[in-house]
Structure 1
Amino acid sequence: MGLIGEVLLLPFAPVRGSLWAVRQVLAEAERQYYDPAVVRAELALLEQQLEAGELDEQEFDRREDELLDRLEIGLQRTAGTGEGTTG
């Protein structure tokens, strides 16, 4: 795209900038959501809630499955980016 194209698209610069910002926020939210350390902490909290009687077995199993799925995805993501964590 040449100079003329850039000049013609100049009025859309704020929109392009906003889209970039939205993509960055979304990427960070996904990184935090799938962070293995965060998911492990949530699993530990879930187990504490079960032991304290705040959850029944069925609810615990449902939420545990969701967290284990997130953990698996998070570990795959970190393995793909070389950001492996030990633990």
Structure 2
Amino acid sequence: LAEIAAEAAERAGSDRVAVVHRTGELAVGEASVAIAVSSPHRAEAFDACRYVIEEIKKRLPVWKQERYVDGDEAWLDGAVPEVAHD
């Protein structure tokens, strides 16, 4: 996550990028990711935010367990990114 934030900071021309990915139990509708970017121009800040969320989806393993009103639970398949081997 820190590597993705550093890449986003470079894209935005800023050293002010913060990213938090929550873990644990979340209620429906709660944010699981928060991204903040400070940049001289808002277009670069928005681009950096988009970059962070797309890279999280592509590069970080994410699993989630859903709990249903009827008491059932199900683990959803996680995305496990392929690791390049040099």
Higher-Rg member (1/2): 1
Higher strand share goes to which structure?
A: 2
Question: Which structure features the higher share of helix residues?
Answer: 1
Q: TM-score, normalised by structure 2?
A: 0.32
- Higher RCO (C-alpha 8 Å, min separation 6): 1
TM-score (norm 1): 0.32
